[in-house]
Every structure is written in C-alpha cells, then in structure tokens.
Amino acid sequence: MTCENMKRVQKEVINNWRDHLKRKLTGQPVGTKDWWSSIKQQQGFSRDDSIPPLTAPDGSVVTSHRGKAQVLAAHFSSKMTVPDPEREPPTVPVLTKAALGNITITTEEVLQQLQQVDSKKALGPDSISPHLLKRCASQLAVPLATIFRECLSSQQWPSEWKVARVCAIHERRAEAILRTIVPFSSFPLLGSA
C-alpha cells in the first residue's frame, strides 16, 4: 500500500512538473536564460539538485533521480512496516480508576481553535490553507464542530486526515548516507489540531 501510494504520488508530481513546464514555455515570452535552464532541468542537467548522491545499503552510490527516489522510498517504507499485523496488541495494565467520560465539542471551542491557527504554517496534504481556516473561522466553526462530533460518536477518523506528506531532510549535509536522512512530515491541519 505504501509503495503504491509512493508510485502514485511520484507520477502525479512528474505530471504536475511537466504541466508547469509546458505552461511556462508556451505562455508569456520566455527569456533565453529561462528557456535553457528549463531544457537542462528537463533533461536532468540541473545544478540545483537538492538531494546529493546517496549511499545505498549495499554500498553503491546512487546519483540518478529515479535511483534516489527508489532508495528513499525503500528506506522510509521499511520504517513503516508492522512485523505481524495480525497479532493482537499487548494488554496495558490499568493504572487509574479515572475514566474519560463524555466529550463535548462546542462550536465556541472549535471557533477558538480556528482563531488560534498559525496562519504562517505550510499547507498540508489536504491543501487547506491555514490562512483560510483562520480568516473564515466564524463560518467554518459550525460545520467543523458537527464533523468532529460525528468523528467521536462513530469512532472513525476521516481517511484524508490520516495522510501525511513526508520529505527527506539531511541531518548533516556532508554525508549522503541514508542514516543521516530523517523524515519531515506535514499533516492536514484539521486532523492534527
């Protein structure tokens, strides 16, 4: 499932990049420098490659974009596997007699949370702008409170809120070894508040 999603996203990104390049080159007049840099980038000769060559687990050095994408996908996918998905979770001993009672979600609380959203945050995978959430808080509070209440009563979380955008970040720029790469995740704002 993870690899299928990665391949789907990879195709989507490539198609979006091609569409952007096509619009850039067919729209307004393009200067010589922009035209040549676009052609070089399209052919893989771009000097602003943000991911340096990677040392794969077998010791080989990977330099192609496709190879780096495959090595990173395998690396992060291996971190997300569950050893035995059919196994029952362990029983955790009860340490308190206190229990969580009814949770009440009010429109006022949702409004307050929306007004406190950091509008400078990046878009999540749902592409909902934090600026929009904050600016339209009074209009969104009622429908969102209804959605949150339904999540509690049905004990189900919308699958779109479980999606994360993961980027590879190098801890140390000098080394291009997989162990120096950490994932940075971006989550939908509505699902993480």
3-state secondary structure of 166: strand
pLDDT in tens, 28-83: 777 777 777 777 766 665 555 667 778 888 888 888 888 888 888 888 887 777 77
pTM above 0.85, yes or no: no
Tokens linked to 136: 């339209």
Q: What is the mean pLDDT of each run of 10 residues along the chain (193 residues)?
A: 71 81 75 75 61 81 86 81 83 86 91 92 85 92 94 88 78 61 79 71
Contact assessment for residue 122 and residue 184, using Cβ atoms and an 8 Å cutoff: no
**Closest listed residue to residue 72, CA positions, set 186, 188, 184, 187:** 184
CB atoms within 10 A of CB 175: 14
Sign of CA dihedral 28, 29, 33, 38: positive
Burial of 67 (0-12, 13-18, 19+ CB in 10 A): middle
